[in-house]
Amino acid sequence: MDVKCINPFMGAIKNVFKTMLKMDVQFGKPHVKTNEETCHDVSGIIGLSGDVAGAVIVSFPKLSALKIAGIFAGVTLSDADEDFADAIGELANIIAGNAKKDIEGLKIMISTPSVVIGPGHHVKSIRDLPKLVIPCSCQAGSFVVEVGIKKVNQTNGTLVGAAAE
């Protein structure tokens, strides 16, 4: 497990929740995601490109997602509201964007967010990337941030030197 990769994400999660939701986040022990492990009920997904290939997934149980999205948006939301998915996607976007500035020496671009809603879903990477799972909890509930990221060889586009192994 490479702390150079994981620390920027933990810092970003803390910073985003503190600044925009006025909440402290506590972390459990990060672990490598197994094939059997599913996401929670609601996931915000951001693709990573440039000098790396990968994705960041911020995944919430439904109740946590509703509370956190509502606090972020400043209104009570239901999972049927368009703004619910928007808020979850934007949170994932800000976490990924905030983390990438602290990953030194790599030019990283982030995609616009996608949001998946549904219990027990899997998010498969285009490439077979190992993912690290960072368990998080705050006063509005628990959630996880999954990070799968590898450097890309710019000359031929192949993956080199795993950043998350």
- Contacts with another protein by CB under 8 A lie at 15-16, 19-20, 72-75, 82-83, 86-87, 89-90, 93-94, 96-98, 100-101, 110-112
Nearest distance, CB of residue 40 and another protein, angstroms: 20
Residues contacting 119, CB < 8 A, separation 6+: 41, 62
**Nearest CB to another protein, comparing residues 88 and 163:** 88
Q: How far is the CB of 53 from another protein (least distance, A)?
A: 17
Cβ 133 to another protein shortest distance, Å = 22
Give me the residue label for tokens 């197994």.
Answer: 34
> In 10 A of CB 160, how many CB atoms?
11
Using the minimum distance from each CB to another protein, give the nearer residue, 33 or 54.
54
Phi, psi angles (nearest 5°) of residue 61: -65, 150
Q: Which is nearer to another protein, 33 or 67 (CB)?
A: 67
Of the candidates 145, 50, 51, the one whose C-alpha atom is nearest the C-alpha of residue 95 is 145
